[in-house]
Amino acid sequence: MKIALLGGTGDIAEGLVLRWSKAGHEIFIGSRSDEKAKKIASEYIETLSKLGITPNIHGMPNADAARSAEVVVISIPPEYAASTVRQIRDSFTNQIVITPVVSMVKKGNYFMYTPPPQGSCALEIKEALPEGVKLVSAYHNLPAKELSKIDKELDYDVVICGDDEEAKAVVKKLTEDMPKLRALDAGPLEVSMMVEAITPLIINLNLRYKPRHFSVKFV
């Protein structure tokens, strides 16, 4: 599958790029800077080549990456995510778009959830996207450092939300391409606010109990 990661130079993007490349997907790294995107793509290729993997990764501006893909991941900081999507709105057609975006603020030595007026980052991004795009929220709670260790199996659950059943099925399959992640369908996109709100709590626990890497597992 052709997957674009807008802001594909960030922390969570690295793990997704490496793991999906290992699973055989074609990856498009998007960035505001074409030069930066190509540089990061080359670094990912080098990392995977050392592991005996021949990846299919390309670096390009965000707009071109979005146009090239069947699935687009918005791996952009929350303060820029919706505005970036608006700027390249014409690059989206009927793709599946995945948002792991969470808005939070640091207060002293801990983080607090700070949702936008829409109630969640997912709903804010939905407003910025054109009609026909199928938005799914996922991957909010995965620890980025653990995700980038591609030979490590991650025994975590990934909660997904969305209003299109076929789109959620695709995201579920992409999630299960990364052993041993399990995708759980939590319902419509408006439920995303509850999933997003858990993320600062997990980060706070990870900071307090270093070097643990807490995530989510439902038992």
In this prediction, residues 205-217 reach a mean pLDDT of: 91
Half-sphere exposure of 16 (CA within 13 A, CB side): 29
Domains and CATH numbers, the chain: 2-208 (3.40.50.720)
Helix (H, G, I), strand (E, B) or coil at 113: strand
Q: What is the pTM of this model?
A: 0.96
Pair of tokens at residue 5: 């990661």
Is the pLDDT at 64 greater than 90, yes or no? yes
Q: What is the mean pLDDT of the chain?
A: 96
Q: How many CB atoms lie within 10 A of CB 205?
A: 15
What one-character DSSP code corresponds to residue 163? Answer: S
C-beta separation of 161 from 187 below 8 A: yes
What is the rounded radius of gyration, in angstroms, for the C-alpha atoms of the chain? 16
State how far the Cα of 66 lies from the Cα of 52, in Å rounded to an integer: 28
Please compute the mean of the pLDDT values over residues 103-110 and round it to a whole number.
95
- In degrees to the nearest 10, what's the CA dihedral of 176, 179, 181, 187? 0
Q: What is the pLDDT of residues 115-157, one digit of tens each?
A: 999 999 999 999 999 999 999 999 999 999 899 999 999 999 9
DSSP alpha helix (H) spans, 23-160: 34-50, 62-68, 78-87, 121-128, 144-147
Q: How many residues does the chain have?
A: 219
**Cβ proximity of 118 and 143 under 8 Å:** no
Determine the number of helices (DSSP H) and then strands (DSSP E) in the chain: 8, 10
| Residue 149 parent element (H or E) | none
> Per-residue pLDDT for 68 more than 90?
yes
pLDDT band at 15 (very low <50, low <70, confident <90, very high): very high
Cα(64)–Cα(32) distance, integer angstroms: 10
CA–CA–CA angle 96, 46, 58 (5° rounding): 35
How many Å apart are CA 153 and CA 178, to the nearest integer?
Answer: 8
**Tell me: the pLDDT tens digits for 170-196?**
999 999 999 999 999 999 999 999 999
More confident residue, 47 or 211: 47
Measured between alpha carbons, how far is 147 from 142 in angstroms, rounded to an integer?
7
State the pLDDT at residue 11. Answer: 75
73 vs 213, which has greater pLDDT? Answer: 73
